[in-house]
A and B are shown apart, each in its own frame.
Chain A
Amino acid sequence: MHADRDRSAGTGEGAVGSTLLSKAREDAAAPYTEGDPILQVRDLAKHYPLTQGILFKRQIGAVRAVDGVDFDLYAGETLGIVGESGCGKSTVAKMLVHLERPTAGAIRYKGEDISKLSGRALKAVRRNIQMVFQDPYTSLNPRMTVGDIIGEPYEIHPEVAPKGSRRQKVQDLLDVVGLNPEYINRYPHQFSGGQRQRIGIARGLALNPEIIVADEPVSALDVSVQAQVVNLLDRLQAEFNLSFVFIAHDLSIVRHISDRVGVMYLGRIVEIGSDAEIYDHPTHPYTQALLSAVPVPDPTAREHRERIILHGDVPSPANIPSGCRFRTRCWKAQERCELEVPLLAVPAEFRLVDTPARHDSACHFAEEKHVVPTEAELEIPGPAEAPGDGEAPGDGEASEAGEDETP
């Protein structure tokens, strides 16, 4: 039922077979062995009660912010999650790092369901899954020094860095994210947006986690600074063999950074696959509309593109349509879509053919559609390699150049 990482590489067993296999694996809750997903998310849900009345609160419904999300995350890979505002991305992120308790479902870390843990057992796992937040302006406490902010996780997990070694550890972290270690006593307001995001990343790395959940980590940054931070994340992943869940609404950035991509709509993943499967061979109408709406930085694309303009608004998560939740905006919707919930699986028509369209897509009428103009159709060459002059596209240097901007 879930994307098999190697499937796009070629033959392998039929999808039906692999579905059975992975089911068997789940049911047995087999011990974690290398090569298994480091994180398995199954049927994850978060429903917020909607209440009425002041004295006697009555529940009159629920906001189904997350409503049955499945995905796997493998060691060392980046899973991108995209979707429009309100589709539940941040809520998923918060559940992964235990800032919210799931209403239902499982989050298996190396085979063990951590969603119901508490106390010391929870504390031990939490260390391994850390979060980096979107807003570099508000997620850092303005009254704490950078050293205290990055070192704060050590208060909760003193075993990672004994008291005497902390200052050195924090300085090392500053260095790793391309900031001057001497900045340790400065305050957040003395840094630019890009530098603050680096501080947030350093804090996320403090406990040597295996998994980093990054919720829109570059969305608030300017184009030129965004590239610096994206490169930093790329570098850190390779250096520390990190697994990333990377949440964003910018589809170009997500493609750049992700190995696999999941597309969310109204609390569910509607399509998931490798970056090429999703961007070059999308089969779900929502993914197709989303991709077709992304403005491409090339004026020649205007003539070459068919825009799928969706009509109407996203329904409220308190009132999700029956059947396929996308049907109120889908141009292909039919009666079946109203009656039957499409499951996230390889669509029947692609199950037995060897094609990049063979990936999980929750649509009764999945079909391929080419929506992203390729380089051959455009005029502008791909991004040049770092321009001459020995100018490395590195970012360590970048932060140094910005130094005199901070008072």
Chain B
Amino acid sequence: MLLEVRDLYVEFHTREGVAKAVNGVNYSVAEGETLAVLGESGSGKSVTAQAVMGILDMPPGKIAGGEILFKDQDLLKLRPDERRKIRGQEMAMIFQDALSSLNPVLTVGEQLGEMFVVHRGMSRKDAKAKAVELMDRVRIPAAKERVGQYPHQFSGGMRQRIMIAMAMALEPSLIIADEPTTALDVTVQAQVMDLLAELQRELNMGLILITHDLGVVADVADKIAVMYAGRIVETAPVHEIYKAPAHPYTKGLLQSIPRLDQKGRELYAIKGLPPNLTRIPPGCAFNPRCPMAQDVCRSDVPPLYEVDEQRRSACHFWKETLDAR
């Protein structure tokens, strides 16, 4: 396994109390595989990713338990300089907002070239040639002329492609893309996702795609991990989960989205809101909103049950959920 996150816990110490942002996350990605992490706002998707990348805000954040195995070594046990080296060369991250993650006062070429100067010891001149090559590769038209331009001179879709170029510059084995297309229009989103998938295939990278869009997930993922209140509540290969979800939250999400191919009636709406992370309800965190909740759900935290070899569901009633479709 390329990356395996085991029983990860992250807390934030805030004035309101301890916010339990990540409460025992388990997921894994193999080489060449795409894992989609799906969840609503505040469910802990980004915080988990930041912990994996080693860019968590500490304090106020604190890793309260777990392991992050990358190529079989626990990243949490590495020295800071070892960690930095892996972060620079072997894993890279793409953020939602390319404009604020690119440096506004450096040209795009300087930022792309920097990677080769720092990590590969290249000369400025060679690095610039590399930058042009990368821009070509992510299909920025007239790359040679535009290599000297600043980030604000590019459109949103182009900036996101430049971010992709930067992430793959050193050919890492793992890329984490945190809502890479959320800020983009659908036609541009299609361009960017296409590009990402193509490069992933070429380089046989592991890809963790963080998103709240069930459509994007269905389009590109091999498997899905659904997060709710800091936990993975269901993980499964992509076809299975859409056909027959084994957790009521996943099921509710799938039913609450309108369809493109028909007008449809009233939408199913999951009642209520996700919990405040400083006051997660006892038992199953989803119980106040769950149409299937029983007494046991209010007292016992459901373990991650094994549905079959490849599927897990954190629901006491996963069997009933599967059957009730």
Contact = CB atoms under 8 A, between A and B. Distances in A.
B238 A299 contact: yes
A386 B255 CA distance: 9
A255 B260 contact: yes
Contact of B269 (A224, A251, A382): A224
A161 B276 CA distance: 38
Interface stretch (A146-154, A330-338, A343-351, A388-396): A388-396
A296 B185 contact: no
6 contacts: A223-B253, A226-B256, A234-B266, A256-B258, A301-B218, A401-B273
Contact of A252 (B156, B259, B324): B259
The 7 closest A-B pairs by CB, nearest first: A295-B215, A401-B272, A256-B258, A227-B256, A84-B185, A293-B190, A227-B269
B135 to A, nearest CB: 15
Interface stretch (A36-44, A118-126, A302-310): A302-310
B292 interface: yes
Interface of B: 40-41, 141, 155-158, 185-191, 194, 212-219, 221, 238-239, 242-243, 251-276, 288-289, 291-292, 324-325
Contacts of B156: 85
Nearest to A292: B190
Given A293-B190, A299-B238, A224 B256 contact: yes
Contacts of A379: 239, 242-243
A298 B218 contact: yes
B47 to A, nearest CB: 17
Contacts of A374: 261
Given A223-B212, A295-B218, A389-B291, 12 more contacts: A228-B271, A279-B260, A294-B215, A299-B242, A313-B157, A373-B261, A375-B261, A375-B262, A380-B242, A395-B269, A398-B271, A402-B272
A222 interface: yes
Contact of B41 (A222, A296, A311, A373): A222
A381 to B, nearest CB: 8
B236 to A, nearest CB: 11
Nearest to A387: B291
A264 interface: no
A386 B264 CA distance: 12
Contacts of B275: 405
A230 B189 contact: no
Interface in A70-117: 84-85
Given A224-B252, A300-B239, A397-B271, A252 B218 contact: no
A391 B291 contact: yes
A249 interface: yes
A272 B274 CA distance: 38
Given A84-B187, A290-B186, A296 B260 contact: yes
A304 B124 CA distance: 47
Contacts of B288: 401
Interface centre among B189, B217, B238, B262 (most CB of A within 10 A): B262
B218 A296 contact: yes
Contacts, number: 187
A383 B266 CA distance: 10
A379 B254 CA distance: 14
Given A295-B215, A313-B158, A398 B191 contact: no
A307 B272 contact: no
A35 interface: no
B253 A224 contact: yes
Contacts of B214: 223, 297
A384 B215 contact: no
Given A401-B288, A405-B276, A302 B185 contact: no
Interface in A2-37: none
B250 to A, nearest CB: 11
Contacts of A388: 291, 324
Contacts of B257: 223, 227, 252, 297, 383
A222 B213 CA distance: 10
A225 interface: yes
Given A391-B291, A398-B269, A405-B276, A297 B187 contact: no
Contacts of A385: 265, 268
A231 B267 contact: yes
Interface core residue of B221, B268, B273 (most chain A CB under 10 Å): B273
Contacts of A394: 269
A364 to B, nearest CB: 21
Contacts of A84: 185-188
A305 to B, nearest CB: 9
